[in-house]
Every structure is written in structure tokens, then in C-alpha cells.
């Protein structure tokens, strides 16, 4: 795939072969079992396998973001747009949370211990307007993804800075990443820099390439 054939907004330097392979998975419905599960009863979503390591998946770009330059903007349909430095974020209440994570490439990892800032706390500071219904999220590597606002504004969602008691490494999105544990992990962008609240859905990097616009693992929402 050349740059000329890639969708608009494709970050430079991505692993084109990897991206095309995952596009083909969506076209073929790879990994689909055709079943669903109940998260209240079934801890492991359909088609997933447990791992004990933490696989590294990215677009081929692992930006170096120093804490001194780290910043999170929350803008769009909010009453109080935020542009928070690392020091600003560290001054906010820090929370700890344990959850499982589920990757659309079929692996799941149980009992991940995170520390960070509650996304609900951040949204409360930004004060979403009544017409805000969706969010788009942008990372330092150019990656984007989308969510309905209610899927972002949940008590267990974090702007994570630590994993298993240590600062997030660069390969896993450090110094900060989003963690949305109830959806496939491509909805938890690494190296996050911006959250924009919008009135209508706008598909992100994988969503325009055939992946589901929401991504519920228990409904096996892998692909559009």
C-alpha cells in the first residue's frame, strides 16, 4: 500500500504491511466465532485466549514524549476547554484500578493494576455541553479512534500513568494512555494528547479500515 492509496489522515511511517494485514482480517472476518457472552458471567470474551505477558502492538511509531512536554487537551463541545500539563495532571486526584484487557487480535490479560486520573473527573472539569454525544481521540503518533461519550464517561476508565506500580513505558504508551477496559483495547489509545467532544460520530484510524465503531468484546464487535 502506498501513501497515495491510504485513507486520509494516515500517519507517516506506519507499518504498511501490518496495517494491510489487519484490514484483510476485517474483510475476511478473521477470528470471529459468531457467539456472544455475558460479562456478568463470562470473564473471557468469545474467541479470546489468555496471556501472561503484555504484547506490544502499534503502528510502527513509538514517539518519545517527555513528561515536561506531555499535555492533554479536552476541547470541542465543552463549557470549559482544558489544556493540562503533566504537572497539572499530577496535581489532580490519583486513582488505582484493577481490570482485565482484551485485544481485538485475540489475546486477553487478567488483573492489570493501573494508577492514573479518572476520565470522569476530567470530563467533570471540562463540563460537556448537552449536544456532546461522541468523542474523537488523538495520539502523538497520529493515531485516532472514536467512542460514544457514555463509553468514555465511566467510573473505571483512566488516564493511566502507571502499570503494576511502575510508570508506563514508552512501548505501552507512556507517559500516559487511555484505559477503557470494557471495550477492545484499540479503543484505549497510547500516547494520548487530545480528546474532542463532538455531536456526531467520526470514525478513527482502524474504524475507517473495517473495524467496529464501538468494539464490545462480549458481543464480538471486532469488525464493522
Domains in the chain: boundaries: 3-219
pLDDT tier, 58 (very low <50, low <70, confident <90, very high otherwise): confident
pLDDT at residue 41 greater than cutoff 70: yes
**What is the H or E stretch that residue 134 is in?**
strand 134-139
Cα–Cα distance measured from residue 56 to residue 185, given in angstroms and rounded to the nearest whole number: 12
Q: What are the residues facing 166 on neighbouring strands? A: 163
User: Could you give the CA distance from residue 222 to residue 208 in angstroms, rounded to a whole number?
Assistant: 13
pLDDT tens-digit profile of 144-169? Answer: 999 999 999 999 999 999 999 999 99
**Do the Cβ atoms of 149 and 215 come closer than 8 Å?**
no
Query: 501472561: which residue's cell?
Result: 52
pTM here is 0.92
Q: pLDDT confidence of 12, banded at 50, 70, 90?
A: low
CA dist., res. 157 & res. 170, Å (int): 20
DSSP 142: S
For domain 3-219, say whether CATH 3.10.100.10 is its number. Answer: no
Amino acid at each position: 500500500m502506498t501513501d497515495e492509496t491510504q485513507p486520509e489522515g494516515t500517519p507517516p511511517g506506519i507499518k504498511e504491511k501490518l496495517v494491510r494485514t489487519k484490514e484483510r482480517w476485517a474483510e475476511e472476518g478473521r477470528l470471529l466465532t459468531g457467539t456472544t457472552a455475558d460479562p456478568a458471567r463470562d470473564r473471557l470474551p468469545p474467541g479470546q485466549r489468555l496471556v501472561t505477558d503484555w504484547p506490544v502492538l502499534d503502528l510502527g511509531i513509538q514517539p518519545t514524549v517527555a513528561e515536561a512536554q506531555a499535555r492533554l487537551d479536552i476541547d470541542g463541545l465543552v463549557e470549559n476547554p482544558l489544556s493540562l500539563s503533566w504537572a497539572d495532571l499530577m496535581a489532580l486526584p490519583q486513582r488505582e484500578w484493577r481490570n482485565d484487557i482484551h485485544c481485538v487480535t485475540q489475546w486477553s490479560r487478567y488483573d492489570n493494576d493501573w494508577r492514573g486520573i479518572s476520565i470522569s473527573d476530567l470530563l467533570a472539569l471540562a463540563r460537556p455541553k448537552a449536544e456532546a454525544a461522541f468523542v474523537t481521540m488523538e495520539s502523538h503518533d497520529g493515531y485516532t479512534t472514536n467512542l460514544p461519550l457514555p463509553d468514555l464517561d465511566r467510573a473505571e476508565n483512566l488516564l493511566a500513568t502507571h502499570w503494576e506500580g511502575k510508570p508506563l513505558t514508552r512501548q505501552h504508551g507512556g507517559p500516559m494512555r487511555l484505559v477503557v477496559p470494557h471495550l477492545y483495547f484499540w479503543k484505549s489509545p497510547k500516547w494520548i494528547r487530545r480528546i474532542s467532544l463532538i455531536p456526531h460520530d467520526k470514525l478513527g484510524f482502524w474504524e475507517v479500515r473495517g473495524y467496529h465503531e464501538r468494539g464490545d468484546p462480549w458481543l464480538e464487535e471486532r469488525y464493522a
